[in-house]
């Protein structure tokens, strides 16, 4: 992992232990999780006991100590979403991705988890993929979305080459005298 980047983040906050939470947030944003070496470095640079930094990292649900997938999928299991099939959506996505909730796929592409009410019950059932909420979604539509993200991105086809500029037609040399310019007698 890139410890230099962790150093930069810590320096941005002036190595101030009062900023330990924003520092951890930035590290998590950068790496998608809080790597152990990063936490050790934070403790060292901020002059904090490692145990204290680990406490912060484990207390807040927003932090995770295990690597997250490139795409993160949250399925709401709050009451309204549960009633409208949230559990079925989660189960279907687990089958599609071949991982259990809370885990990351072997290729590191997807993480999936069940979460509590997201506060948008009117849109139940709802899932959130990469911070994009998808309300009133069906299990099939959720699978479709995952497949779209899993599909390899095709490079945009190159723009067609401009057509060669057409040369002006070469003037045909006239033979003899142009009689049209001669006035009639």
Residues forming the site for ligand FES (CB under 6 A): 76, 78-81, 117-121, 124, 126
Residue whose CB is less far from ligand FES, 102 or 119? 119
How far is the C-alpha of 42 from the C-alpha of 33, rounded, in Å? Answer: 14
Q: How far is the CB of 145 from ligand FES (least distance, A)?
A: 17
Residue whose CB is less far from ligand FES, 117 or 134? 117
Residue whose CB is less far from ligand FES, 80 or 150? 80
Q: How far is the CB of 75 from ligand FES (least distance, A)?
A: 9
Q: How far is the CB of 80 from ligand FES (least distance, A)?
A: 4
- Say if strands 110-115 and 71-76 run parallel, antiparallel, or are unpaired: parallel
Residue whose CB is less far from ligand FES, 48 or 120? 120
Residue whose CB is less far from ligand FES, 101 or 118? 118
Phi, psi of 111 (to 5 degrees): -120, 145
Longest dimension (CA), the chain: 116
How far is the C-alpha of 83 from the C-alpha of 79, rounded, in Å? Answer: 6
DSSP 3-64: HHHHHHHHHHTTT-GGGHHHHHHHHHHHHSS--HHHHHHHHHHHT--HHHHHHHHHHSTT--
Sheet containing 127-129: give its strands across.
110-115, 71-76, 127-129, 132-134
Q: How far is the CB of 84 from ligand FES (least distance, A)?
A: 8
Q: How far is the CB of 135 from ligand FES (least distance, A)?
A: 8
């Amino acid at each position: 992992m890139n410890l230099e980047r962790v150093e930069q983040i810590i320096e941005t906050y002036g190595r101030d232990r009062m900023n330990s939470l924003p520092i951890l947030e930035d590290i998590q944003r950068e790496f998608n999780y809080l790597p152990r070496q990063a936490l050790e470095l934070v403790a060292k640079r901020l002059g904090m006991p490692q145990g204290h930094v680990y406490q912060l990292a484990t207390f807040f649900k927003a932090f995770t100590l295990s690597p997250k997938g490139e795409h993160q999928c949250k399925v709401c299991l709050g009451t309204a979403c549960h009633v409208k099939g949230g559990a079925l959506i989660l189960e279907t996505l687990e089958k599609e991705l071949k991982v259990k909730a809370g885990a990351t796929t072997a290729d590191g592409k997807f993480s999936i988890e069940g979460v509590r009410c997201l506060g948008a019950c009117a849109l139940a059932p709802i899932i959130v993929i990469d911070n994009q909420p998808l309300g009133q979604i069906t299990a099939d539509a959720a699978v479709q979305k995952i497949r779209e993200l899993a599909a390899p991105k095709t490079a945009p086809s190159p723009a067609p080459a401009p057509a060669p500029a057409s040369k002006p037609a070469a003037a045909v040399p006239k033979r003899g005298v142009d009689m049209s310019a001669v006035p009639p007698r």
